[in-house]
A and B are shown apart, each in its own frame.
Chain A
Amino acid sequence: MSIMCLLVATALWLPALHLFFSPNLKQWRQEHAVSPVAHRLAERHLNLWRDEIVKASDIDTMRVNNAEWDFMGRTFLVLALSNMALHEPDRQAEYLGVIDAIIDDTIALEEQNGMYFFLMDYATWNPWVIQPERSVFVDGEIALMVGARRMVADDPKYSEIHRQLIASLKQQMGQGDVYCGESYPNECWLFCNAVAIVSMKMSDSLGDADHDPFINQWLISIRSELVDDKTGLLVSSFTVAGEPLDGPEGSSIWLVAHCLELLDEAFARDQYQRAKRELSRNALGFGYATEWPESWQGPMDIDSGPIIPIIGASAGSSGLALLGASSFNDDELLGRLITSLDFAAFPIKGNDELRYGASNQVGDAVLLYALVEGPLWERIKRGEGDPR
């Protein structure tokens, strides 16, 4: 009888557990406003960038583990604040103040220490194929940050930096056999190249130039050369010659699909649907994403983050899946992912702030961006730069 009671109790409790963590999505994401949860997440970041000591501590912690996280945290935060500035014009000056502080700090660090400051150590182990040696990861994300800032409110200080970066990126990517440039020596990442292409699109929206022929060539190239045969998903990394190094990965594809929304909506949606089918999982109402599809298992690395055994959940992929779900208005997946977030990521609330104990600054910045994204991409799609 005792075993039966335990079995019945388990059968009653486990399927119901998710109900205690299921979100009211309106508290998390709103199409034309910044949600209450997003405000609390943002408050943490805004305070972080206002307090030099706290900022240094948080960023130093991330840099101990991975210099890229510091850099990417900045990018996602700038994207989030840019969207928030468009949602809330009355707070635009406040958000632009922090955006400018992030951009200026990032550019200053890069100029002072070189691009390797934001790269992992192995960037110095081998020679770069494309010359002059530049990382599309670093240049592309700085260009994206500057472009996003300009889309909110253009500033001559940033327009010249943006144009120079775009010109450099186009030159680097044009030398690659598949129109992609290196993030690390002979290692190209679709994540980074997609970001670079988006920054070109921003530049076009602002009336700087017309990069459509180059962007179209890039799209043709990636569709013909970089699609995994088994899943139909774009691969994550490859050589300058276009030979795949890694197959499709969650820590890459969700963001790539989000970027593709600006370039080829049908292709973007196709990639999102495939990623959802291959990588997203549902366990008793809790959603998560794996890093690799069933047909390809890669090595655990810093991008995938720890993989939870048996279920194969990846913190990196699950975090970016939030952005994918939000971007493609997939409330069902978004709700399940947030359910898991509140269950397993240990929210820490206080002083109108919210952060997640199991996350870090870049993870929280990705979540914030997922909850507020929309107006910036809409502005780019409409070809609207800053009206001033």
Chain B
Amino acid sequence: MKSENSLLRTIISLPVRPLTWTTIAVLIGTVFVVLHLLGWRSDTSIISGTVPMEGVAGEMAIMRGVAYALVWFTFIIVSPILLIAAVLRAVFVRVIGERTKRAPASTRGY
């Protein structure tokens, strides 16, 4: 029972852990690099209303272009926010932890 509660607490706390945020940021970055190396940047012409080619090939190009654009904007906007937030949280946790250690015994509820 105790270990089940511990596991549940761990899962619930995952989204708010700096490590999770960092992992997500790195994941987004990795996906972006892969799409970039695959050359999907060239398919972003759909933003100007230019469909690169007709038929199924055109639809695939649109999908690639939209995917690349979405990943780029997520990478450039969301990833840095997650990384900065991870650093901030780690700093706050350390600062609060040190203050708790330095506090007189009487304030620590002994």
By a beta-carbon cutoff of 8 Å, the part of chain A in contact with chain B is: 1-2, 5-6, 8-10, 12-14, 17, 61-62, 64-65, 69, 302, 305-306, 315-316, 343-346, 348, 357-360, 363
Contact = CB atoms under 8 A, between A and B. Distances in A.
A348 B41 contact: yes
Nearest to A347: B41
A315 B80 contact: no
Contact of A357 (B16, B41, B88): B41
Interface stretch (B3-11, B26-34, B47-55, B99-107): B47-55
A65 B53 CA distance: 9
Give 5 closest A-B pairs by Cβ, nearest first.
A9-B84, A2-B16, A9-B85, A358-B47, A357-B44
Interface of B: 15-16, 41-54, 65, 68-69, 72-73, 76-77, 80-86, 88-89, 92-93
Contact of B49 (A305, A348, A357): A305
Given A346-B72, A348-B42, A357-B41, A9 B51 contact: no
Contacts of A348: 41-42
Given A13-B81, A346-B72, A358 B89 contact: no
A315 B48 contact: yes
A9 B81 contact: yes
By secondary structure, the B interface counts as helix
Given A9-B84, A13-B84, A358-B69, 5 more contacts: A9-B80, A316-B48, A346-B41, A348-B42, A363-B48
Given A1-B89, A1-B92, A12 B84 contact: yes
A355 B24 CA distance: 31
Given A9-B84, A65-B50, A359 B76 contact: no
B58 to A, nearest CB: 8
Contacts, number: 88
A223 to B, nearest CB: 32
Nearest to A60: B53
A305 B15 CA distance: 39
Given A2-B89, A5-B88, A9-B82, A17 B48 contact: no
By secondary structure, the A interface counts as helix
Contacts of A17: 76-77
A357 B66 CA distance: 12
Given A17-B76, A61-B53, A305 B48 contact: yes
A65 B51 contact: yes
A359 B45 contact: yes
A5 B43 CA distance: 36
Contact of A5 (B46, B65, B89): B89
A64 B82 CA distance: 42
Given A2-B16, A9-B84, A9-B88, A61 B41 contact: no
Contacts of A315: 47-49
B12 to A, nearest CB: 12
Given A9-B81, A9-B82, A9-B85, A302 B42 contact: no
A69 B45 CA distance: 14
Contacts of B85: 2, 5-6, 8-9
A208 to B, nearest CB: 37
Name the residue in A61, A357, A359 with the highest tally of chain B Cβ atoms < 10 Å from its Cβ: A357
A245 B83 CA distance: 51
A230 B35 CA distance: 47
Contacts of A13: 77, 80-81, 84
Name the residue in B51, B77, B80, B81 with the highest tally of chain A Cβ atoms < 10 Å from its Cβ: B81
B53 A64 contact: yes
Given A5-B92, A348-B41, A360 B80 contact: no
20 contacts: A5-B89, A5-B92, A6-B85, A9-B80, A9-B82, A9-B83, A9-B85, A13-B77, A13-B84, A61-B50, A65-B51, A69-B50, A305-B49, A315-B48, A346-B72, A357-B41, A357-B45, A358-B45, A358-B47, A358-B69
